[in-house]
A = this chain, B = another copy of it.
Amino acid sequence: MTDEPITATLLISCRDQKGLVAAVSDFLYRNNGNIIHADQHTDKEEGVFLQRVEWELDGFDVAREEIEGTFKPIALRFGMQWTLHFSDYQPSVAIFVSKLPHCLYDLLGRWRMGEFRGTVPLVISNHEDQREIAESYGVTFHCLPVTADNKAQQENVALKLLEEWDIDTVVLARYMQILSAEFVERYPNRLINIHHSFLPAFAGARPYHQAYERGVKIIGATAHYVTPELDQGPIIEQDVAGVSHRDSVNDLVRKGRDLEKTVLARAVDLHLRNRILVYGNKTVVFD
C-alpha cells in the first residue's frame, strides 16, 4: 500500500450529453495522464451521467495545483458538478457511538492497521462507556449525554468539535440518537450510518426483534448516507446472512454484529477512496 503512486481523482456528474467521455479522456490524453481507473455510468431514465477517473500525478503535464483551473473550461462546457481529490490527502473522520462498541472497535482497529485512507482523531458518544477504547488508540473522546431537553445544545457542541477538528466525514457507528435535520444538512453525503437491517425492511427501532418476530430466513445490514428522513438516505452497501428457527433474537444480534462491522467498514473505505457518487437518492459505487 505504501508504495502506491500519488493519484488525482475526478468525480463528475452532469446531464447526459454526447462527447462527455471523449472530452474527459482527451483532456487526460493530451496532458499525458496515465489512467489507473476509469468508470462511468449513465442513468438513461434520469438523463444523468456520472464518471470517476483516477490517474497518476507523476508524469502528468499539468502541475497538481493547476489541474483544477485547467479542467474548469471542460466542466463549464458540459455543466458538470465535479470534485477533485488527491490520494495523499488524509481526510479526518469522527466516529459517533453509543453503548454497543463492535463497530467502533472494528473501525479503530482498521485505522490503526492502516486499512483506511484517513485519520480518526475524534470519537463522540452520548455515554462514557467507550472512552477507554478510544483513548487507548490515542483518540480524543467526548461524552455528550443527550436528553430531550439538551439535544439541540449538545448537537451544537458536537458541531463545534467537528469544525475544530476539521472533520471531513462523520460515521455513526451504532449511534442511537436521531440527529436533527440541521445537523444532517451540515454533512451532505459525508455522514454515514449503519442500520442493523436489510433496508427498507425493518427501518426504525429494534430491527433484530422485528426480524425475529417476522420469521425471516435472512438478516442484513445497510450502510447509507444520512438524510433528514430516518433510514431513507442513499444506500452505499448491504450484506446479509442466513438464519433459521434455531436462532434466537440474541443469535440474530450476534450474527448481525459481524454484518454491521463489515458493511460499515466497506462503506467508509469506499467513501474515503472517493469511490462513491450520489444522485437523487441513490449511490453509484465505482468499485
Residue numbers of A with Cβ under 8 A of B are 1, 18-19, 21-22, 25-26, 28-29, 32-36, 38-44, 101-102, 105-106, 109-110, 112-113, 115, 133, 136, 198-202, 214-218, 220, 234-240, 242, 244-246, 250, 254, 257-258, 262, 265-266, 280-285, 287
Interface contact B258-A238, CB-CB below 8 Å: no
Closest residue of chain B to A258 (Cβ to Cβ) is B262
Q: A105-B113, A246-B287 are in contact. Are A28 and B35 (CB under 8 A)?
A: no
Interface contact B240-A218, CB-CB below 8 Å: yes
Q: A35-B21, A109-B105, A215-B234 are in contact. Are A199 and B201 (CB under 8 A)?
A: yes
The residues of B that contact A41 with a CB separation of less than 8 Å are: 245-246
Q: Supply 16 A–B pairs (Cβ within 8 Å), ascending by A.
A: A18-B32, A21-B25, A22-B25, A102-B115, A115-B257, A136-B136, A198-B198, A215-B280, A215-B282, A217-B235, A217-B238, A218-B220, A218-B239, A218-B240, A242-B242, A262-B262
Least CB distance from A240 to B in Å reads 5
For the complex of A and B, list the 4 residue pairs with the smallest distance between their C-beta atoms, beginning with the closest. Answer: A215-B282, A201-B201, A105-B109, A22-B25
Interface contact B18-A22, CB-CB below 8 Å: no
Please pick, from B199, B216, B238, the residue contacting A238 in the complex, using a CB distance under 8 A. B216
| Interchain CA distance A2-B217 in the complex, whole Å | 27
Number of copies: 4
| Interchain CA distance A25-B215 in the complex, whole Å | 29
| Interchain CA distance A101-B109 in the complex, whole Å | 9
The residues of B that contact A237 with a CB separation of less than 8 Å are: 217
The residues of B that contact A240 with a CB separation of less than 8 Å are: 218, 240
Interface contact A1-B250, CB-CB below 8 Å: yes
Please pick, from B28, B106, B200, the residue contacting A109 in the complex, using a CB distance under 8 A. B106
Closest residue of chain B to A217 (Cβ to Cβ) is B238
The residues of B that contact A214 with a CB separation of less than 8 Å are: 199-200, 235, 281
The residues of B that contact A44 with a CB separation of less than 8 Å are: 36
Interface contact B115-A254, CB-CB below 8 Å: yes
Interface contact A21-B38, CB-CB below 8 Å: yes
Please pick, from B28, B106, B200, B287, the residue contacting A22 in the complex, using a CB distance under 8 A. B28
Least CB distance from A106 to B in Å reads 7
The residues of B that contact A202 with a CB separation of less than 8 Å are: 200
Max chain B CB contacts within 10 Å: which of A105, A214, A217, A245?
A217
The residues of B that contact A136 with a CB separation of less than 8 Å are: 136
The residues of B that contact A133 with a CB separation of less than 8 Å are: 112
Closest residue of chain B to A259 (Cβ to Cβ) is B262
The residues of B that contact A1 with a CB separation of less than 8 Å are: 250
